[in-house]
Amino acid sequence: MKRAIRLMLEKILRTFGGNVGYRLVREISYSRDGRCLAIPWMDADSQLKEKTIDLNYQIENQSCPFCNDNREKNVLVDQVREVGGVNTRKVVYQCPGCDFIFTNEKRGTRGDYFRTTPYQDDVTGIRRDRELDLISIGMKIASLSENCNILIYGSGNTNTRQFLVNKGLSNVWASDVAENAIYDEYTINTGKQPDYFKKAGLRFDLIIAVEVWEHYAREDIKEAFRWLFEHISDRGLLLATTSLWYPQNSDPIFNASKESGIEQLKWWHYLHFLDHTSFYTEKNIKLIAGAHGFSAEFAYFSDERVHREDPFKRAICIAHDSNLLLGKKIRKEFSGRFLDLFYY
């Protein structure tokens, strides 16, 4: 009953209050729909600690992949909460130089980790459907035809490539680094052959990376992003989704105080998925893109469930700085827009 009333109030506020109403809604309640707040590790009782997965270990190398700051990282939160039936302890470190946050969990390098664990559909959405949505958006923005080069990055066990081929797209490639992902002639294990496409003289007009970046270990970030940027063709773009983090009230739409900084981390279930380890600010992404001659733009999901459950989830579009025409189209058709992207 309480929930029904709250939902109705939210609807009224949102309908008649616009963004101000929306912000009010977000200020009023962030412990919603059964989403509990995280419990500080020091307050957890022994029973909870016993059923919690704790993979954290001390940081040895302090270097930041974005700003190269070597100072000791701040511990932002040390907390436990449940997501998808699994309790995880997350110790979240923050770079004092650029606000990038990460966990330091035992899981080996990205290559080691994904060798045995391919990307799969997870509760944040069926990958293929979101990949298809991004592909149609990207093809439209960059005015690409059916013979453009597409790369599905982190293809795992999805059949997006085959689906597109059946639809008449002739140049669709896929890549993963897991040993037990599905591979074929056009699906390449880039863990084993990172230079495969380079050797073949292939760059892509469209690269799609759905929910991959949050899985990069801090040590792999520089190299992983470099690989992506090097594989974007001159006329091409990269479209990704991940959930960002907002250290201050810096978000133009959801800038409620409980949706940034430590308040965000208290109730943000995304943080507590196993293997989610890196969380970027918009600035982090812009910085690393900029260092390679690219610019990054951000868009929202139109699905209201995203606004309620993970309002920090973004679509991110990256393209060459030098492609002025494409940049103009991206700013017009993508930046700050609410896009119809599959959620779940």
Binding site for Zn ion (CB under 5 A): 64, 66-67, 69, 95, 97-98, 100, 211
User: For Zn ion, which is the closer residue by CB, 279 or 298?
Assistant: 279
User: For Zn ion, which is the closer residue by CB, 97 or 194?
Assistant: 97
Minimum CB distance to Zn ion, residue 99 (Å):
7
Minimum CB distance to Zn ion, residue 96 (Å):
8
Residue closest to 93 by CA, chosen among 67, 53, 62? 62
- How far apart (Å, rounded) are the C-alpha atoms in residues 180 and 189? 10
Minimum CB distance to Zn ion, residue 119 (Å):
8
Minimum CB distance to Zn ion, residue 181 (Å):
15
User: For Zn ion, which is the closer residue by CB, 217 or 326?
Assistant: 217
User: For Zn ion, which is the closer residue by CB, 64 or 181?
Assistant: 64
The 10 Å CB-count burial string (b at 16+, else e) for 188-218 is: bbbbeeeeebeeeeebbbbbbbbbbbbbbbb
User: For Zn ion, which is the closer residue by CB, 243 or 260?
Assistant: 243
| Residue 75 · residue 92 · CB < 8 Å | yes
User: For Zn ion, which is the closer residue by CB, 176 or 211?
Assistant: 211
Instruction: Specify which residues 295 forms β-bridges with.
Output: 319
Minimum CB distance to Zn ion, residue 155 (Å):
15
Minimum CB distance to Zn ion, residue 291 (Å):
13
In this structure, are strands 101-103 and 86-94 parallel, antiparallel, or unpaired? antiparallel
Element (H, E) at 7: helix 2-28
- How far apart (Å, rounded) are the C-alpha atoms in residues 38 and 306? 20
Q: In what order do the strands lie in the sheet with 313-320?
A: 187-189, 172-176, 150-153, 204-210, 232-243, 313-320, 294-301, 338-339
Cβ contacts of 154 within 8 Å, gap of 6 or more? 119, 175, 176, 209, 210, 211, 212
User: For Zn ion, which is the closer residue by CB, 175 or 278?
Assistant: 278
Q: 69, exposed or middle or buried, with CB in 10 Å at 0-12, 13-18, 19+? A: middle
Minimum CB distance to Zn ion, residue 127 (Å):
10
Token pair listed for 295: 């610019």
Nearest 5°: phi and psi at 57? -140, 170
